[in-house]
Amino acid sequence: MRRNSLNHVALILDGNGRWAKKRHQPRIFGHQQGAKVIKHLIDYALNDYVKYLTLFCFSLENWNRPQAEVKFLHSLFYQKIVSKKTLDFFLKKNICFKWLGFKTKLSKKLLDAIKLLEKKTAKNNKLTLTIAFNYGGRQDLDSKKRISSFLPNVDLLIRTGNENRISNFILYQLAYAEIIFEKTFWPDYTKKTWKQNIKEYHLRKRRFGAILPKK
């Protein structure tokens, strides 16, 4: 059976708060654990020769969450961006880091850190990791120049956390994406889950509006 090409995988990382609540922990504990899973996810993608991995981590709508949680998410993102461990990991794995988002409400300190990490990893070409932080798909399409234009079309979108919607993610690139709504909360996402998702993707018949010829 012919396998579908898998160039670009996008994920909506959902379920951190509910995962923490089940363990009688604050929501930020779930975000901390979820951040740790991203490193493993990158390895899964590299092992399957994915060229683009795009992660939805904070939407423009997420500003409506409690202020303490929003502040923590921004602090967590900054810590990961400026970490030497992060840079060393990206350089070792030949990963190009990209940020997708709007500058609105973001601190200069965070924007400068993002710009520096992008510059230091710009020549890497094995995998392009894009973090969508402070991003909205409708706002992107309505802007004078689409900020997501550097991304190719998405082959597979995975949303964790047992929610069945795309939540204003990269709407243009998702036009013909295969979508898997995964029940697993993001902090529990494992290599086994990834392999199951990829297997399901390869079993799909991608038609792109056409009728496939009979074999």
Longest Cα–Cα distance of the chain, Å, equals 57
- Asked if the model's pLDDT at residue 96 lies above 70, the reply is yes
* Residue at 146 is within a domain: yes
How sure is the predictor about 195, in pLDDT bands with cuts at 50, 70 and 90?
very high
Residue 76 inside a domain? The answer is: yes
State the Cα–Cα distance between residues 58 and 12, nearest whole angstrom.
Answer: 9
Asked, for residue 171, whether it belongs to a domain, the answer is yes
Domain count for the chain: 1
How would you classify the pairing of strands 127-135 and 95-100? parallel
What's the burial of 66, exposed, middle or buried (CB within 10 Å: 0-12/13-18/19+)?
exposed
> Would residue 159 count as lying in a domain?
yes
Strands (E), the chain: 8-12, 52-59, 95-100, 127-135, 156-159, 178-181
Tell me, yes or no, whether 213 lies in a domain. Answer: no
Query: Which residues are catalytic, by number?
Result: 14, 62
Q: What is the CATH number of the domain that holds 56?
A: 3.40.1180.10
Q: What is the model's pTM?
A: 0.94
Q: Does residue 5 surpass a pLDDT of 80?
A: yes
The answer to whether residue 199 sits within a structural domain is yes
Q: Which residues form the domain of 98? A: 8-203
Residue 88 lies in a domain: yes
Q: 210 in a domain, yes or no?
A: no
Helical spans, DSSP H, in the chain: 16-22, 27-47, 67-82, 84-93, 108-120, 137-142, 191-203
53: β partners: 9, 129
